[in-house]
Amino acid sequence: MAFNLYTKILINIQIDAVQCFSEYMTWFRC
């Protein structure tokens, strides 16, 4: 249970990082 929660948190952090990186690249391109 705790492991699943920890994994879910890690996945959410990775998704947020990808979104921030995508926004940064879009801003950098523009």
Q: What pLDDT does residue 29 have?
A: 67
**Distance between CA 25 and CA 5 in Å, rounded?**
30
Q: What pLDDT does residue 30 have?
A: 56
How far apart, in Å, are the Cα atoms of 7 and each of 1, 3, 4, 10, 16?
10, 6, 5, 5, 14
Summarised one tens digit per residue, pLDDT across range 1-30 is 678 888 999 899 998 888 888 888 888 765
Q: What pLDDT does residue 8 have?
A: 92
pTM of the model: 0.51
Sign of CA dihedral 3, 4, 6, 11: positive
Host domain of residue 3: 1-30
Backbone region of residue 15 per phi and psi (left: phi > 0; alpha: psi in -120 to 50; beta: other values): alpha
Q: How many domains is the chain partitioned into structurally?
A: 1
Six token digits for residue 13: 């952090």
